[in-house]
Amino acid sequence: MTTNTKYIFVTGGVSSSLGKGIIAASLAKLLQAQGYRTTIQKLDPYINVDPGTLNPYEHGECYVTDDGAETDLDLGHYERFLNVPTSQSNNVTTGRIYQSVIEKERRGEFLGKTVQVIPHITDEIKERIQILGKSGDYDIVITEIGGTVGDIESLPYIEAVRQLRWDLGQDNAIVIHLTLIPFLSAAGELKTKPTQHSVKTLMESGVQADILVCRTEHELPEDLRRKLALFCNVREEAVIQSIDASTIYDVPNLMLEQGLDKVVLKKLNLESDTPDLTQWNQFLNRHKNPKGEVTIGLIGKYVELQDSYKSILEAFIHAGAENEVKVNVESVHSEFLTPKNAAGKLQHLDGVLVAPGFGERGIEGKIEAVRYVREHNIPFLGICLGMQMAVIEYSRNVLGLKDANSTEMDEQTQYPVIDLMESQKDITDKGGTMRLGAWDCELINGSIVQQVYGSNAVKERHRHRYEFNNAFKTQIEDAGMKATGFNPETGLVEIVEIPSHSWFVGVQYHPEYKSTVANPHPLFVAFVKAALNFKKDEKSVSMTQK
């Protein structure tokens, strides 16, 4: 087999939430910053075909790519770090692997053979791992294997890694193993045993780790590194410490200090140079030295779990750095927001974002939040369901269409201002059937969004089933809320604004998916700026009142 592409596998021991995604993204950043075309792929050992049908409480946010794949949130980190779009090929689950093997079996492609985990499932995994490499677009493919080494469901993946190392040769495929070095405070000691054990578990499957990345709260002393190297059969320089960082954006520099990129490139027989992290460090500098701060309310129903709104929170970090301010995000649970307590929860905020979501729970709270910020001129950004709630609020409270609603929440509503698209009406399968991925959007001259984007045409990613109902468009526009973005083919409304308000924008798409360190999303940048202006204006108003 010939190959120009090099493969790096990232596996994890002890616990699955050690931050493999961030380590993979940081390594990719360092390799990219040395001129290597690098991409990252995530293999997830669960049986769902994709995470699209998973509740955010289960697995955090579902991240959507340009090609409409509903994927693991780690792909968001990959894009934010690398500024290179990912696709369906970058996320594969066990469900998808089995689905594809079973479809081949039904088509008779296995010519009467018994279909088995080895070789058929493992062959399918190997093929999926190499799709990105074979595209010719990348010098290096990093494959992150989800879950924990030793789990039953991870076994076929580890076996595929073992075979690929054999097929491709040791110089072309290496294994990084991420483990935890716990600190026992009673004994005042760092413990290496769990690492030794997970390396051993990996070896039982025939895979020797080349590099250890050790997650730790304290510096690893020299003798401990030596011990790990000796017991785990790796070189001392290949024992890399991953110490807890105050921000994930520090991790590339921490890995650089540890020489992770150098060891990796040496093992792969590739030249190594000093990575150019100028732009990255400029961002970090701005992020860490803010000149002011704003407080934005995030109104959602999954706020207990930070990962549910991962891309939104990261987009605020990018936009904050761009504005040189710290963005404090204050979560407000929409389920417990009522007309009685809205002022108490919202009046001190400099901006409010109403989050995406599905289903009825918490929507009245979201509508109440929109009412409050609209009436008090507080900058507002509504995303997907948040935009739909803005349309409903306006219809109810300004147009006087009592009980206006989305047919998602009330099928019988007299005023279905948000309704199911015609093309969605006969769809019964829930998985992968929404309006997904990048769609064109044309912007109206003179609108806020046209100014924000500095363009008349953009492409943004979608993930929803319901739409602004054009039957109500004239009525809504006459009352003062304007539709300022449209899909040119379908005429579907993508954006609404209220020109008389300080800054009020609702978007049917998800701008947060496209915000990266190198390219903070213009809508988030403008929203944070509006919040900053609002804060200044508020201050000057209260000063003149004194």
Active centre residues (catalytic) = 384, 510, 512
Closest distance to ligand GLN from the beta carbon of 63 (Å): 12
Closest distance to ligand GLN from the beta carbon of 359 (Å): 7
Q: Give the DSSP H or E segment for 43.
A: strand 38-44
CA distances from residue 124 to 92, 106, 115, 288, 327 in whole angstroms, order as listed: 11, 15, 12, 44, 44
| Given 218, 270, 358, 376, the residue binding ligand GLN (CB under 6 A) | 358
Contact 359, 408 (CB under 8 A): yes
For ligand GLN, the closer of residues 275 and 297 by Cβ is 297
Contact 213, 176 (CB under 8 A): yes
| Given 85, 356, 362, 382, the residue binding ligand GLN (CB under 6 A) | 356
Query: Pattern of binders to ligand GLN over 19-38, x per CB under 6 A?
Result: --------------------
Distance, in Å, from the CA atom of 135 to the CA atom of 115, rounded to the nearest integer, reads 28
* 464 touches ligand GLN by CB under 6 A: yes
* 465 touches ligand GLN by CB under 6 A: yes
For ligand GLN, the closer of residues 59 and 126 by Cβ is 59
| Given 225, 287, 374, 463, the residue binding ligand GLN (CB under 6 A) | 463
Nearest Cα to Cα of residue 179 among 216, 219, 230, 146: 216
| Given 61, 144, 408, 419, the residue binding ligand GLN (CB under 6 A) | 408
Contact 29, 82 (CB under 8 A): yes
Query: Pattern of binders to ligand GLN over 421-460, x per CB under 6 A?
Result: ----------------------------------------
Closest distance to ligand GLN from the beta carbon of 343 (Å): 26
The residues near 373 (Cβ < 8 Å, ≥ 6 apart) are 346, 352, 379, 380, 504
Instruction: Kindly indicate which of the ranges 188-196, 320-328, 462-470, 527-535 contains the residues binding ligand GLN, using the contact rule CB under 6 A.
Output: 462-470
Instruction: Kindly indicate which of the ranges 74-82, 88-96, 229-237, 464-472 contains the residues binding ligand GLN, using the contact rule CB under 6 A.
Output: 464-472
For ligand GLN, the closer of residues 96 and 463 by Cβ is 463
Q: How many residues bind ligand GLN (CB under 6 A)?
A: 10
* 394 touches ligand GLN by CB under 6 A: no
The residues near 506 (Cβ < 8 Å, ≥ 6 apart) are 380, 381, 382, 383, 386, 387, 388, 390, 391, 495, 496, 497
Closest distance to ligand GLN from the beta carbon of 295 (Å): 23
Query: Pattern of binders to ligand GLN over 466-505, x per CB under 6 A?
Result: x---------------------------------------
For ligand GLN, the closer of residues 374 and 463 by Cβ is 463
Q: Give the DSSP H or E segment for 39.
A: strand 38-44
Distance, in Å, from the CA atom of 390 to the CA atom of 368, rounded to the nearest integer, reads 10
CA distances from residue 206 to 25, 82, 117, 147, 211 in whole angstroms, order as listed: 26, 32, 17, 18, 15
Distance, in Å, from the CA atom of 520 to the CA atom of 311, rounded to the nearest integer, reads 12
| Given 357, 511, 520, 522, the residue binding ligand GLN (CB under 6 A) | 357
Place of tokens 């039982």: 204
* 385 touches ligand GLN by CB under 6 A: yes
Cis peptide before 339 (omega within 30 of 0): no
* Residues forming a β-bridge with 330: 297
* 535 touches ligand GLN by CB under 6 A: no
Distance, in Å, from the CA atom of 352 to the CA atom of 354, rounded to the nearest integer, reads 6
Q: Which of residues 121-150 bind ligand GLN (CB under 6 A)?
A: none
The residues near 445 (Cβ < 8 Å, ≥ 6 apart) are 456
Contacting positions for ligand GLN (CB under 6 A): 356-358, 384-385, 408, 463-466
